[in-house]
Structure 1
C-alpha cells in the first residue's frame, strides 16, 4: 500500500512515498541562476518511519538558493558529527562568529620516538623546538591539517599520523585550528586563507630558524583542511614539495576563484583525491594529478550515506592505507564512463603514498568496500 504526499517549498518539489514501514524521499530542485535553469540536487534515500521529522530537513537541504556566479551553495549543509549525530546547518542565514588569529593555532609535534603523545607548540616557541621536541631537520616532514568540526585528536589526524610513523622515518606536525574549525561552517570556510597563511608562516620560520627543508616537506589536508593546505603552500610561494588535498570541501567555494582554495600553483606537485563530489566535496580538477576513486562521488561500503560523511572520510582512509602499502593503481582517463568502458590511455599511476608519484593527469580507479581498500 502506497501513500503519496507532495511537499512544495521555495524552488523545490519534494515527493514523500510511504511504503510499509519505510519512507523514501525523492527530492528535486531547480534554480534559475543567470537565466540558466540548473538542476541542483536529486537525492533518494530510505529513512525509518520514526525519523519523519527529518523529512522536512532533507527537503530543505535539497532546496538550494540561487548560485551567485559559480559558487557551490547548497543552502543547507547536512553533516554528521564525530559522535554520529546528524545536524543541519543553514548556510544562507549564517553569520561569521569569530575571526582567526595566530593564537588559535597549535602545532603538535610527533616523531618515531614519540608517536602518540606529541608536544604542543605555539609559534612563540619556535626557537626552542629542537630542545622541546624530537624534531630532526635531517628527516622529511609531514604536516597534517584537519577539516571543519575536527580537532588535533580527530580520526583524520590519528589515522594518517599513525600510518606515517609506522612506515616512515618522519617528523609529523599536526595542525590544530579547532578554535575556528569548531565554529559554524561559514566562519570556518571564510578563515581558510588566514589559517593557511599562519601555517605557511610557521613553516618558513622553521626553515629560517631551525633548518626545516620545504623541499622535503609534504602537507596533507582534509576537507576545509585541503584548502588550508593550498593557502599554506601559497604563503611559502609554492616551495612545498608535495601538497595533498583529501576531498577538498565544496560548499561556498568557486571553480573560477582560486584565491582561497587549493590549486596547482600552491606547491611543487599537488595531488587531490576526490571521494564525495557534489555533497561535501568539490570534484573539479584542483591539482597536477586528480584521482577519482569509484567516480569520486560515492564510495562502496558507505550504504545510504545521507550526509556524505562516509564517502568524505574515505579520502583520508585511502591515503592512510597508501602509506602502509600503496596498491591504489589508477588509470588516466577522460571520464569515469570511459574508465568503466576501458577507454583509457596506457598511462597509469598510484594514488597517494609518500613520496608521491609525480605523474600529472586525471586518474580513475576502483576500491574495495572495506579495508584493505586497494
Structure 2
C-alpha cells in the first residue's frame, strides 16, 4: 500500500490518514472522542445538502462572555435586547471546519482569547449538521454555507444598520473557504478575512469560485501551518504568513498526519489576540529567510486584532515549540 497524507482534511485534535489502493482511496481518521473511523473517498456520496436550518449563530458580547445566545433570523430585530450586541463595535465571526461543532477547541480558544482582551461582538457559527458528514459532503457545501452566513450578515446589516466594514471573519481549514464564500456573498463588503491553514484536499488553484481568495474581502490575511498536506500550499491572501516555513511546526513531533501542525494555525491566532508578538519578515522564500537575507526587510505582526493591513506579500517567522509560541522581536 502507498500512503498519501495530503488527500483529506483533518481538523482540531483528530488524525487523518488516507490510504490509496488499486481500487479506491480510504481515509482513516480519529474523531475528537478518540474513535478511529474509515471513509472511502472515491465512493463517498453527498449525504445531505446544506440548508439554513443547518446553521446556528451564537452571540457573545462584553456583557455575555460565557454562554452564547442562539439567535434565529426572526429574532434579529430583538438582537440588542437579547444579546447586548453593539452596532458601534467591531464584530468577529468565527467559522469552524470539518468534524467540528460549536464547542470544539477551535471555537473555544479563539472566542475566549478575543472576548477577554477585546471589547467586541463575537458570533460563533455552528454548521455541524453538515460538517459532521463525510468530507466530500462537507467540502461540497462550503459555497451554500457561505451564502447562508453572508445572507444572515446582510440581514443583520439591514436590521441594525451594522456596517460590514466593521466585521472580521476568521475560519479554520474548510471554515476558511466558507469565510471566503461569505465575503463573496456580501460583495466584498467584509472588512477583513483571516484564513487559518485553509483546507487543501479537493480544492484547485484555478477555481476560486469555491475557495478563499484576495477578492473576498477588503483585506485577506492567511496563516499557513501545514501546506501541501492538510492545508492548501498556495498564496491565497493579500498577505500570507508562513510560521516555521508553513508546512510543519516545532513541538509536533513526527506528526504523520499533519494534525498537530494544522491545528497550530488557530492556536497561534488565538495567542496573537492576547499579546501579538508574532513578528514576521517580508521575504521571497523560506530559504532566504533561513539564511538571514530578510532581516532588514519590512516587518509585520501575524494575526492580531485588528490585522496589519499595510502588509502585502509573503512573510516568514519562527515560533517556540510550546506556549507562548511568539518569539517577539
Aligned to 2:319: 367
Per-residue CA deviations over 1:310-342 (Å, capped at 9, x if unaligned) read: 111100000000000001000111111111112
Contact 1:78-1:307 at 8 Å conserved across structures? no
Aligned to 1:279: 229
Alpha-carbon RMSD: 2.0
TM-score (norm 1): 0.80
Per-residue CA deviations over 1:150-177 (Å, capped at 9, x if unaligned) read: 1111111110011001110000000010
Unpaired runs of 5+ in structure 1? 1-8, 13-26, 30-39, 42-56, 67-73
Match of 1:220, SS state, is: strand
Match of 2:98 among 148, 157, 166: 148
Match of 1:329 among 252, 276, 279: 279
CA distance in 2, matches of 1:248, 1:65: 29
Match of 1:212 among 148, 162, 167: 162
Contact 1:197-1:232 at 8 Å conserved across structures? yes
1:94 aligns with 2:44: yes
1:114 aligns with 2:64: yes
1:353 aligns with 2:304: yes
Match of 1:343, SS state, is: coil
Per-residue CA deviations over 1:279-313 (Å, capped at 9, x if unaligned) read: 21112100000011111111111112122211111
CA distance in 2, matches of 1:81, 1:149: 8
Contact 2:145-2:178 at 8 Å conserved across structures? yes
Greater relative CO (CA pairs within 8 A, separation 6+)? 2
Q: Higher mean Cα deviation, 122-131 or 321-330? A: 122-131
Change (3 A) 1:356 1:65: farther
Q: Displacement, 1:86?
A: 4.3
Match of 1:313 among 246, 249, 263: 263
Q: Displacement, 1:84?
A: 3.6
Change (3 A) 1:100 1:65: farther
CA distance in 1, matches of 2:33, 2:262: 16
User: Which is higher, the Rg of structure 1 or of structure 2?
Assistant: 1
Match of 2:20 among 35, 60, 63: 63
Contact 1:63-1:75 at 8 Å conserved across structures? yes
TM-score (norm 2): 0.91
Contact 1:272-1:286 at 8 Å conserved across structures? yes
Q: Displacement, 1:75?
A: 4.2
Change (3 A) 1:363 1:80: farther
Contact 2:48-2:137 at 8 Å conserved across structures? yes
Residues paired across the two proteins, number: 315
CA distance in 1, matches of 2:25, 2:258: 16
Match of 2:121, SS state, is: strand
Match of 1:202, SS state, is: helix
Q: Displacement, 1:65?
A: 8.6
Per-residue CA deviations over 1:220-239 (Å, capped at 9, x if unaligned) read: 00010000000001111001
CA distance in 2, matches of 1:201, 1:65: 44
Contact 2:31-2:37 at 8 Å conserved across structures? yes
Contact 2:19-2:27 at 8 Å conserved across structures? no
